[in-house]
Structure 1
Amino acid sequence: MTGKEFLELDTPQPRLYLERFQRMELIQKIFNELPKADQNLCNHGSYFLAANASLCGLAGNNFFRKILHIRRAAIITAVPMAVLPFISTAAVYEAFVRQPLFSGELNCEVCAVVRGGLVGAVVGGLYPIFLAIPLNGSLAARYSSSPLPGKENLLRFWLSIAQPVFRKMSWGVLVQVLTGLYLATKHHGIYVKILQQMNSSRDPEELQGWS
């Protein structure tokens, strides 16, 4: 390696990546020293939000089946309505709330809490209901359980069908919003604990360079 190439490596961007990596390593080290209750809440708390999303999916699916008078393929529709919302909610919460928090990329408490509430509302509450619409629509058409309109009245038909379902599921969506807010608040609180331990164990000038 020539001297010029060596100097090109010593640029602000590689140093920034190195500092970020060292910060993530330190956060993970302190996280492993936290009480088991805090670790379990961080590692498995999103599963509670995801389980509620599965319940919302099953409830929404059941409402649509009753309205459209669908009596067949109960298990076939129940499985995706339970599994897909669970996986989607857990993955989105991990990607937009938990991982940014504990990698040091999300330091704003309000931002974290708002993200948690939005994930709970949109992915954990509304998405399972919307997912049930095409699924049950295809079953109603396949088994002719309920007369479906032509293309010109299709939107109006589904709006009238979905309206009572959304009213019944409003409490479920609210629970998901509150659950997402609660989880994000608790996760940010644990992240603050980690920062406090970092402040007490590291050089203040080094920490200032990481902020």
Structure 2
Amino acid sequence: MENHEPDGTIIKENLTDIIARKINQLPEAERNLLENGSTYVGLNAALCGLIANSLFRRILHVTQARIAAGLPMAVIPFLTANVSYKGFVSLPLNTGDLQCETCTVTRGGLVGLVFGGLYPVFLAIPVNGGLAARYNSALLPEKGNILNYWIRISKPVFRKMLFPILLQTGFAAYLGSRQYKLLIKALQLPEPGLEIE
């Protein structure tokens, strides 16, 4: 008889099924937080994108194309933050790949900082710069000092966006911690159908 190693995919599927079964035992509010946490991070990122868009529009005196600039500044950060939080935090938690609360909080905070806070601000620069060039609403730089111009224009926006960026980072880190604790709570629940005597 040959000595076979157990197939890792079968064990992984069983672990995922067990975690999903345990999560379904949680109360609805807690289950919703586990399942839809990435949506909340995405909504905050969309709000950061709209705020950054508004600040750049004011600085560059862009008054046209409000919807054309506002829609991508809400949708793209929402989708990016939602997918990245789901991929870096929620999915690894639900599959058992992320087993450390500190790691979960760190990942959540980094996703909130990079994809939920900084990315929308950096995305607002080319969107509003293109609109300013198209509608000639602001005096744009010559070819030699483009970088200095955008750094000078962006400094006040980044100062004003500091609080929303930190809020997004803290919220995503807190959400990661909360999701980890809910998952631990779910895993400690007894199996459905088994009675403890």
Aligned mates of 2:23, 2:44 — CA distance in 1: 27
Residue type of the alignment partner of 1:181? A
Q: Which residue of 1 aligns with 2:44?
A: 52
Aligned match for 1:64, one of 41, 56, 81 = 56
CA distance in 1, matches of 2:178, 2:14: 24
Aligned to 2:181: 189
Match of 1:132 in 2: 124
Letter in 2 for 1:28: A
Q: Is 2:119 the partner of 1:115?
A: no
Q: Which residue of 1 aligns with 2:74?
A: 82
Please give the alpha-carbon distance, in whole angstroms, between the structure 1 residues aligned to 2:133 and 2:37.
Answer: 39
Q: Does 1:159 align with 2:134?
A: no
Superposition deviation, residue 46 in structure 1: 2.1
- Computing the radius of gyration over CA atoms, which structure comes out larger, 1 or 2? 1
C-alpha distance in 1 between matches for 2:182 and 2:94 = 9
Give the aligned length.
Answer: 193
2:16 to 15, 24, 29: 24
Deviation, 1:197, is 3.0
Q: 2:7 corresponds to which residue?
A: 15
In 1, Cα distance between equivalents of 2:4 and 2:182: 34
Shift, 1:144, TM fit: 0.9
Corresponding residue for 1:173? 165
Letter of the 1:31 partner, please give it.
I
1:209 corresponds in structure 2 to none
Q: How far is 1:182 from its partner?
A: 1.0
The superposition leaves residues 84-108 of structure 1 with CA deviations (integer Å, 9 ceiling, x where unpaired) of: 1111111100000000001001101
Q: 1:186 Cα deviation (Å)? A: 0.7
5+ residue gaps, structure 1, are 203-211
Q: Percent identity?
A: 45
Distance 2:143 2:94 in 1: 49
TM superposition score normalised by structure 2: 0.92
Alpha-carbon displacement from aligned partner over 1:47-98 (angstroms, at most 9, x marks no partner)? 2221111111111011111111111111110000011111111110000000
Q: Partners of 1:32 and 1:43 in 2: how far apart?
A: 10
TM-fit CA distance, 1:11? 4.5
Instruction: Give the whole-Å Cα distance in 2 for the aligned partners of 1:188 and 1:168.
Output: 32
Q: Which 4+ runs in 1 deviate beyond 3 A?
A: none
Q: TM-score scaled by structure 1?
A: 0.86
Q: 1:35 aligns with which of 27, 31, 36?
A: 27
Deviation string 1:119-146 (CA, Å, 9 cap, x unpaired) is 1111011110000000111111111111
Structure 2 letter corresponding to 1:50: G
Gaps of 5+ in 2: none
Q: CA deviation at 1:151?
A: 2.0
Q: Amino acid of the residue matched to residue 173 of structure 1?
A: I
